[in-house]
Amino acid sequence: MRFCFVLGFAAVTSAFYLAEQDEFHFKSWMAQHNKAYSMKEYYQRLQVFTENKKRIDRHNQGNHSFTMGLNQFSDMTFSEFQEAFLLSEPQNCSATKGNYFGSNGPHPDSIDWRKKGNYVTPVKDQGGCGSCWTFSTTGCLESVTAIATGKLVPLSEQQLVDCAQDFNNHGCNGGLPSQAFEYIMYNKGLMTEQDYPYTAMDGICVYKPTMAAAFVKNVMNITAYDEMGMVDAVATHNPVSLAFEVTSDFMHYSQGVYTSTNCHNTTDKVNHAVLAVGYGEENGTPYWIVKNSWGPKWGMDGYFLIHRGKNMCGLAACSSFPVV
């Protein structure tokens, strides 16, 4: 009897100790990310955070090519995250036959457009709006324009959110870079970030053609699943917009080469658009270097690496870039 009691007591104290530790981690994370909650929400968020942290710790004890870590999303469930940041419905992303025909190489072993010159703008933050596609679009057009003109100018996502509906884009509810390039081409221009600033909300189109700062002459769609075509485009031309499927493990990505068995490799599942700014290989694992739009604190200074050559998470399903 006494034995039981002692054991029970030890279990309670250690559970108490663990809960205290969880709260300690949560509070320091809250301070780091400037979070504040109502009393009721505090306990709910503490629980979600603790589950996420367990998952992260478990992942990091295993043998994986990437590590997970706490970040600004650590108090969210994946469905909340999905709702806030990802494309909610399947996009029309299937250039079954593209108009870009790359060569099979040989290509350089690695390329990083961030290091080749002043060709890539700092990482931006889309906030709580499903506008990833606009950041992938501006990121690509900024780089292509800078490579052509020598001038790197941040361009307007908000113009695409507000004005590009006629090309199957839906503002904060999603769209595709290829369709946004089409909009810019037919609309004859895109304004700068400074002249048409980002609000992370759907708004009324206030595009002023006289203030257009970047233009598109043609849109290059890379044939679906032609990942070698993407390599050729990045090696010989410029960074390339791509879309892929984000699943719950990606939300906690910290560093290393991301791979997943949770995601699909088909066009109908892609839910996030980003920008490939280069590629390389690490310990025999080929990867893409990808610019994200979740701020510079997420991942590797706002970037991530993802396995290259296996159409990982459908990343080769619908890639494109503009010609200026």
The question of whether 132 is a catalytic residue gets the answer yes
- Please state, in angstroms and rounded to a whole number, the distance separating the CA atoms of residues 293 and 88: 17
Q: Which residue's CB is nearer to ligand NAG, number 95 or number 231? A: 95
For the CB of residue 55, give the shortest distance to ligand NAG in the complex, in Å: 20
Task: List the catalytic residue out of 71, 187, 271, 292.
Answer: 292
For the CB of residue 250, give the shortest distance to ligand NAG in the complex, in Å: 18
Assess contact for 249 and 82: CB atoms under 8 A: no
- DSSP assignment string, 250-277: HHTEEEEEE--SSS--SGGG--EEEEEE
Assess contact for 179 and 217: CB atoms under 8 A: no
The question of whether 172 is a catalytic residue gets the answer no
| Closest to 146 measured CA to CA, from 117, 180, 124 | 117
- Amino acid, res. 289: I
Task: List the catalytic residue out of 272, 307, 313, 318.
Answer: 272
| Closest to 174 measured CA to CA, from 204, 135, 130 | 130
Q: Which residue's CB is nearer to ligand NAG, number 114 or number 264? A: 264
For the CB of residue 295, give the shortest distance to ligand NAG in the complex, in Å: 26
- Sign, CA dihedral 229-232-237-242, equals positive
Question: What are the backbone angles phi and psi of residue 132, rounded to the nearest 5°?
Answer: -45, -40
The question of whether 237 is a catalytic residue gets the answer no
For the CB of residue 60, give the shortest distance to ligand NAG in the complex, in Å: 13
Q: Which residue's CB is nearer to ligand NAG, number 120 or number 172? A: 172
Q: Which residue's CB is nearer to ligand NAG, number 53 or number 308? A: 308
**Positions in the binding site for ligand NAG (CB under 6 A):** 63, 89, 91-92, 95, 99, 168, 176, 178-179, 182, 219, 221, 225, 265, 311
Task: List the catalytic residue out of 93, 132, 313, 318.
Answer: 132
Q: Is the peptide bond before 106 cis (omega within 30 degrees of 0)?
A: yes
Residues with a catalytic annotation lie at: 132, 272, 292
